[in-house]
Amino acid sequence: MCPSGKFAAGFSLRVERPIDGDDTALNGIRLHCIDLSKGPSEYTTIESSVGGWGEWTDIKWCASGVLTSFRLRVESSQGDGDDTAANNIRFLCTDGNVLEGDGTDWGEWGFWSPKCLGKGICGIQTLVEDSQGSGDDTAFNDARMFCCSPV
């Protein structure tokens, strides 16, 4: 959760780029929380569970306001193929702008989450598969965002 009185105004992703072998794609999401009166010059970073593959992307910030809704890009089961599960994310800012992560383009975009009305996203919970050893790793599988009211 963001510290009290702060809201997520930016995010970055941990992404494994396509490789020859077992792809995991999206491995983690960081939310960057700000005090609305100070802006992004001072921010706190939060994250939930994160997979062990890939590199962190640059932070994407709302031009003004905070993150208020999201949707995941998810690849369905490949059967005997290489499964990746979640691959990318989009966030809606309170100013109406949509920010898209630097994940992969595999899979389809899901529905938008309910908007944080009069509020902003202030927390994250993730579902990340542990390493399967010699099996098919998916890493990041799902996310839940939490809304908070201004203090």
CATH number at residue 93: 2.100.10.20
A 10 A CB-CB count for 122 gives: 24
User: Would residue 121 count as lying in a domain?
Assistant: yes
- Residue 114 lies in domain: 6-148
| Domain count for the chain | 1
In a domain, 35, yes or no: yes
Residue 1 lies in a domain: no
Query: Among 84, 81, 107, 75, which residue's Cα sits nearest to residue 24?
Result: 84
Tens-binned pLDDT, residue by residue, of the chain (151 aa): 999 989 999 999 988 876 666 666 788 899 999 998 887 788 999 988 777 778 899 999 999 899 999 999 888 666 665 666 788 999 999 999 999 999 888 788 999 999 998 789 999 998 777 666 666 666 777 789 999 976 5
Q: Specify the DSSP class assigned to residue 96.
A: S
Distances (CA, A) of 145 to 25, 35, 53, 68, 86: 20, 18, 22, 9, 15
Asked if the structure places residue 80 within a domain, the reply is yes
